Structure 1
Amino acid sequence: MVMRISGMSSGMDIDKIVSDLMKAERLPKTKLKQKRDLYSLEMNLYREVNTKMAAFRDAMNELRYSSKMTGMKATSSSTDVTAAVNQVTGASSHSIQVDQLADYARLEGSGGVGALSLQGTANVDGTTITQGVNDRLSIKLDNTTKIITIPANTYSADDLRTEIQKQVDSAFGSNRLNVQLDASNQISFEPAAATNGFKPQVTLYDIPNSAMSALGFTGNQSYRLNLTNSLSDLTSQNKLTNPLVPSSGTLTFGNGTTVDYDANSTLQSIMDSVNRSAAGVTMSYDSLNDKFTITSKQTGAAQTVDVSDSGGLLAGIGLPASASVSGKDATGKLDGADFSVSSNVYSKDGIAYTLNKVTASAVTVNIASDPDSIVNNVKKFVTAYNEMMELVNTRLSETKSNKYAPLTDEEKDAMNDDDIALWENKVKTGLLSNSSILRDAKNSLRSLLSKQVDGITDQFNSLADIGLTTQAFTGAYVAKDQGKIELNEEKLRSALAANPEAVNQLLTNDVGVDSQEGIFVGMYNRANSIIGDLVKKAGRVNGIDSDRTTAIGKSIYDLDTKMLEMENRLSKKEDNYYRQFTIMEQAIAKSNASISWLSGQTG
């Protein structure tokens, strides 16, 4: 950057002159900035439509399934068994008895697998704590980590215990973590038990200036079993109640899947490997009961946990070295006929029974007509469709005014917030009036309103047949209401009474053939496709403006790049102006000096 000299010799306000010159120079960049702002406003308008379209799609996702539009409801005499109608069926009554629930194959280990202690190994009598050398301890109690500082001193064992207890109480509060001293002058930490008797985890972490070594502790040493410690560390710290010789081994599951481990493996890494594998089981640790469990991922008698261990891992964590257990099927009687099913949902004749408990006696499930459910769901469709269509209509019908351009920073500085908001609203009005995406979206969705679905009786194969039509013209053209729909509830109820299955198929058919696709299924699919087009055009809601994977984002990115390049050129141009004025000032100063000298010579 050039040295900038004010007009001391010329008397000119050089900063003002250069600023005025640069205003003219910056006009092209200002135009680019305004163009970028227009793109940004357009992007936000598209994203607004995207939000409304997503809400419509989500509503369709709730309504496009056959089970949502059966017009039937199930009531149960007990919460032990609940039921839902998943296809159109007649009114009926059923009796169901549950003798056994389906269950996972589960191999449970013994409790108390971890030794509860956080014990140091050093005789701390006469320990010297030096500031900045070994005066800090990082302690994590439950989910709270604190660093305590031990004042520098040479301590007796009891004085050191007392000082650490003081610092611990200050960090975590009294009676949360007790610092103890045994007959060998070794420090230990004992957490206080919760009301349920559970003692929380306590872990020491290695940090700069750590006092752990002086106190006889190692990094990541903990009170309870620490799943992130290596098998060799757990063994050296005596953290397992069962003997474990840390060495390599392999867990082999019934389907041939294997998981290898060695002395450097951690219990967490072994569990993660098992859970990611194709073994079809989940290995977990219950910290409350301090035990390990291996469980099948699905229920049913066909599911098994079949595992063997070539090393000592399973025995060390309280599980048998070799075992095979099976799951259970749900069993019972439906209307006097035995059933057996691998899950706790049993479906029969369009009714899904959810088995929650073994029943002491038979539970009665009644199936009855429920036209209100379909009527209410259709009303949800009408509301969601009309709200979405109103926004699309509004954006397409707005007229753009060329009188309003995005405000410059200087213009905003001269206006209040309300006036700025009004102006910017004028600027964005009409930006989407020629949008082919919105026009195609509107036409695509409206075409479904008049579609006749093949494969259904002609009496009920279109929305008009069940009381859904576009709103009648009222004599006054209102752009935002064009294409909205309205429901003749009486006609819908009549259709449901006459042929509920046809109504269900009209709305929810999903057989993979376009001509037979139900209206709600088609609405969902097209809304999903429109959202994809909107994302390609303007990006996702809350995405960045300069997303080059989108059409508008690419334009914004290109403009940002041009403005950056232009700003570099403008900076050089400004420096050049100052350089020229500096030369002028220096020349005037030199001339003034010469005149002053001559005047002095002539007296």
Structure 2
Amino acid sequence: MASVNSSSNSFSYLSSTGNKFTGLVSGMDTESMVEKLMKAQSAQMEKLQQQRQKYQWQRDAYRDVNTKLSTFRQNIFDKYGLQNSLSAKSVSVSDSTKLSVTASPSASGTLNIQGVSQLASSATEVKALKVGNTDATPTTTLSELGLTGDGKVKLKVLQADGKMKETEVEYKSTDTIEDFTKRLSSSGAGVTALFSNGKMSLTANATGSNSEGAIQVSSDTKGVDGVFQKLGFLNGEKGEIANGGNAKYTVNGLEMESTSNTFTISGYSVTIKDKFDATTSPVTVSSTTDVDGMVDKLKEFVKTYNDLITSLNDKVTEKKYAAYPPLTDAEKAGMSEDQIKKWEEKAMSGTLRSDSIVRSAVSGIRAVVYNATPGIDEKYNSLFKIGITTTSSYNDGGKLEIDEDKLRKALTSDPDSVTKLFTQTDTGVVAQMRDASKKAIETIEKKAGKESAVDNQYSMGKQLISLDSKIEDWKSRLKTIEERYWKQFSAMENAIQKANSQSSYFASNS
């Protein structure tokens, strides 16, 4: 119904302003009079538009809360919900020139590495390629090396995980050596092929050996006339091209080997830097709980929790300015952009003040602080028992604080129980807080929907649909009312014109 001209910052309640030529007979400013009449008639529709704006602001505020809750749920799981992310171990190595070691949270016991007799090596094979008595070049084709026709070869190659992987690679007799080496290297088989100075090398990307070879040809569609046979890497129809070597070492008196120079044992990840003789002093590896690291991690947890609680409490305690309702289009037309911005900041303030859903979310998450986690030593089965409690100040809104001495004592005495308190599946602190957050998120989604939701999928959306319908009804009604006013004034003008004509007639004949 009403229109705004942004270029001139003007506003009109008339739908047909500028199209009526009235008042020519009466001398009255009928357009201004209709404008005032329509302003009064539009009051109810403007109230509906203001209500719609309030609902939109409240919906957006709810969705903002859900964004904070969702981020909180993901962050506490990633950073504090898994043993590997929360627990920390400090590792000690008696000779770091021979070994580098890291310790996972499950690392335990002491390792004595009593010698490394062999390092792991990659399978590699080099062949000289000739055309007659002349060294091949990168542009030499496979046909020039004796290959007739196209085919497919299946390579089995040892991978970094110790398993063999089979990959099929196509080749053509018209391929150059450069083409074929590039295709092998990019095939995903796990090999690197190179050519230089008349020689071709084939190397496994991973180290280690296999009983049948780390690089094997399992089949070739051209049989004994296949590509690797013509390149000189293989004599028979299939079989081993090259084999690598395993790392060999002795740990706590046991001889062991691995396909890589990095191996995992008892929660330690050990990387061998070089060989060393068994007759030299063994390298000793041990670990202890990194109490400082865990304290820092739990301080981060408390900050993450407090940031969420503060943001939610700010929503429900934000001041509400009743004297600042949403602006109507007519009001905006008479204000500058800066004035509109400042007004709407106050108008939007307190949108969720004292909201029961958000308050319930805060209460549900806060309750976890005092909940006991089953299956853990009673001395450490809740946050307040390890020194993490809510503040005594009511104004803090139930934020957490740490008694660091008590926390350090718990971590030193029983780090496993403290870790389980946070990470235990379903019943740990992180799991409980995630559950409480999820319930709040689901409740808010029923009321305010997701960003991707259509209006008829949530309760506030249905209210918005109803308001939109009422507003459209009012627009149609106002258009009818305005047309009636114009007709009435037009009739008045016609009547005045007729009366004037009659007066002129009588005056001219008197």
Could you tell me the TM-score, scaled by structure 2's length?
A: 0.66
Out of 345, 348, 355, the position equivalent to 2:265 is: 348
Q: Separation in 1 of the partners of 2:238 and 2:285?
A: 41
Matched, 1:33 2:49: yes
Q: 1:73 aligns with which of 72, 90, 103?
A: 90
Tell me whether 1:571 sits opposite 2:479 in the alignment.
yes
Deviation at 1:375, TM superposition (A): 0.3
Q: How far apart, CA to CA, are the structure 1 residues paired with 2:29 and 2:438?
A: 62
Q: Helix, strand or coil: the match of 2:119?
A: strand
Indicate if the aligned counterparts of 1:66 and 1:508 stay in contact, CA closer than 8 A.
Answer: yes
Cα deviation 1:393-446 (Å, max 9, x = unaligned): 232344655444222233334445565445434433443234332122112211
CA-CA distance at 1:90 after TM superposition:
5.3
Specify the alignment match of 1:291 in structure 2.
Answer: 183
1:437 aligns with one of 357, 361, 364: 357
Which residue in the other structure is 1:531 paired with?
A: 441
1:64 to 81, 102, 114: 81
Q: What residue identity is the alignment partner of 2:428?
A: G
Corresponding residue to 2:311 among 391, 401, 407: 391
* Alignment-mate amino acid for residue 291 of structure 1: R
Partner of 1:504: 419
Instruction: Return closer, same or farther for 1:593/1:399 CA change in 2, 3 Å cut-off.
Output: same
Equivalent in 495, 520, 532 of residue 430 of structure 2: 520
In structure 2, relative to structure 1, the CA distance for the partners of 1:568 and 1:82 (3 Å cut) is farther
Per-residue CA deviation, residues 322-344 of structure 1 (Å, 9 max, x unaligned), is 98999999755462655567899
1:87 aligned onto 2:106: yes
Instruction: Structure 2 unaligned segments of length 5 or more: list them.
Output: 1-14, 124-136, 142-146, 156-164, 171-177, 191-204, 232-236, 277-282
Q: Secondary structure at the match of 2:90?
A: strand
Among residues 454, 468, 482, which one is paired with 2:397 in the alignment? Answer: 482
User: Does 2:473 match 1:559?
Assistant: no
Q: 2:37 aligns with which of 2, 11, 21?
A: 21
Larger radius of gyration: 2
Where in structure 2 are the equivalents of 1:289-438 lying within 5 Å? 291=183, 293-295=186-188, 332-333=248-249, 335=251, 337=254, 346-353=263-270, 359-361=273-275, 367-398=287-318, 400=320, 402-415=322-335, 420-438=340-358
- Tell me how far apart the structure 2 counterparts of residues 530 and 55 of structure 1 sit (CA, whole Å): 13
With over 3 angstroms needed to count, the CA separation of the structure-2 counterparts of 1:555 and 1:304, relative to structure 1, is: farther
- Structure-2 separation of matches of 1:529 and 1:45: 18
CA offsets, 1:291-327, max 9 Å, x none? 36432699897999978779xxx99xxx9xx989999
Give the direction of change, closer, same or farther, for the CA distance of 1:101–1:64 in structure 2 (3 Å limit).
farther
SS in structure 2 of the partner of residue 373 of structure 1: helix
CA RMSD, Structure 1 to Structure 2 (Å): 4.9
Other-structure match for 2:279: none
- Which ranges in structure 1 are unaligned for 5 or more consecutive residues? 104-110, 116-241, 255-278
SS at match of 1:83: strand
- State the match for 2:202 in structure 1: none
**Cα-to-partner distance string for 1:375-401 (whole Å, 9 max, x where unaligned):** 011101111111111222232344655
Deviation at 1:493, TM superposition (A): 0.7
Shift in CA distance, 460/569, structure 1 to aligned 2, threshold 3 Å: same
Query: Structure 1 stretch 1-10 or stretch 464-473: which is displaced more?
Result: 1-10
Change (3 A) 1:324 1:44: farther
Residue 602 of structure 1: aligned partner? 509
Aligned counterpart, 2:27 = 11
SS in structure 1 of the partner of residue 53 of structure 2: helix
CA distance in 2, matches of 1:93, 1:244: 58
1:454-493 paired onto structure 2 within 5 Å: 454-473=374-393, 477-478=394-395, 481-493=396-408
Could you tell me whether the CA contact under 8 Å between 1:398 and 1:433 is conserved in 2? yes
Residue in 2 aligned with 1:138? none
With the length of structure 1 as denominator, give the TM-score of the two structures: 0.57
Instruction: Tell me the residue number matched to 2:492.
Output: 584
Counterpart position of 2:119: 99
Letter in 1 for 2:330: E
User: Whole-Å Cα distance in 2 between the matches of residues 522 and 328 of structure 1?
Assistant: 50
For structure 1, which segment, 30-39 or 526-535, has the greater mean C-alpha deviation from structure 2 after superposition? 526-535
Range moving further from structure 2, 334-343 or 300-309: 300-309
d(CA) in 1 for partners of 2:501, 2:216: 103
Q: CA deviation at 1:592?
A: 3.3
Q: Secondary structure at the match of 2:42?
A: helix
Alignment-derived partner of residue 220 in structure 1: none
2:497 maps to a residue whose letter is A
Shift of 1:491: 0.7
Q: Determine the structure 2 residue equivalent to 1:212.
A: none
Task: Provide the secondary structure at the position in 2 that maps to 1:382.
Answer: helix
Deviation at 1:598, TM superposition (A): 4.5
Counterpart AA for 1:499: D
For the Cα contact (< 8 Å) 2:120–2:261, is it kept in 1? no
Q: How many residues align?
A: 422
Task: Give 3-state SS (helix, strand or coil) of 1:291's partner.
Answer: helix
SS at match of 2:27: coil
- CA deviation string 1:217-262 (max 9, x = no partner): xxxxxxxxxxxxxxxxxxxxxxxxx9999xxx9x9999xxxxxxxx
Residue 61 of structure 2 is matched in structure 1 by 45
